Amino acid sequence: MYEDVVADVLSFMDERMEWLSAAGVSREQLIVDPGPDFAKTPAQTVEVLQKISQLLAYHRPVLFPVSRKDFIGAITGRPPRERLAGTLAAIAHTLTLTRSGIYRVHDIEDVRNFLDVWDVLQGRSQLGAEVLLDRNLWRAPKA
């Protein structure tokens, strides 16, 4: 087990980056993967994700494979196929800290819709004043 999970992840990253550099791989070719749930308890995964800013010090893209992870199940008590809300919350958390990332997800269309709404609400995309909701998409009338 880890004594300090974040320090240990950073140390592992340092070692791997040095090893790869010695093998001729440039830093520009690397992405950082904090390994959510990989050899970590749910609480340790949460701690790493809470301190993701420390991984940004590598100035490399960060991979967030958070879709349906065990830490989400531990928080919500839901099985993997019912963890979309938790996955979206984890993605939102990383976006508030990094504004970008690489995401490995299962529910691609749902995550794409989430990111479209997120970008409009954050002012990165515009919803033109002329855009109206198609009548076929209106709420169903109350029964």
Q: Could you read off the pLDDT of 79-123 as tens digits, one per residue?
A: 999 999 999 999 999 999 987 799 999 999 999 999 999 999 999
Question: What CATH number is associated with residue 81?
Answer: 3.20.20.20
Contacts (Cβ under 8 Å, ≥6 apart) of 115: 91
In a domain, 92, yes or no: yes
In a domain, 16, yes or no: yes
Can you tell me whether residue 103 is helix, strand or coil? strand
Domain encompassing residue 62: 5-137
Q: How far is Cα 82 from Cα 104, in angstroms, rounded to an integer?
A: 17
In a domain, 142, yes or no: no
Give the closest residue to 34 by CA, choosing from 1, 77, 5, 4. 5
- The model carries a pTM of 0.89
Tell me how many domains the chain contains.
1
Q: For residue 141, count other CB atoms closer than 10 A to its CB.
A: 5
For 26-65, what is each residue's pLDDT tens digit? 999 999 999 999 999 999 999 999 999 999 999 999 999 9
| 96 φ/ψ angles, rounded to the nearest 5 degrees | -70, -25
In a domain, 78, yes or no: yes
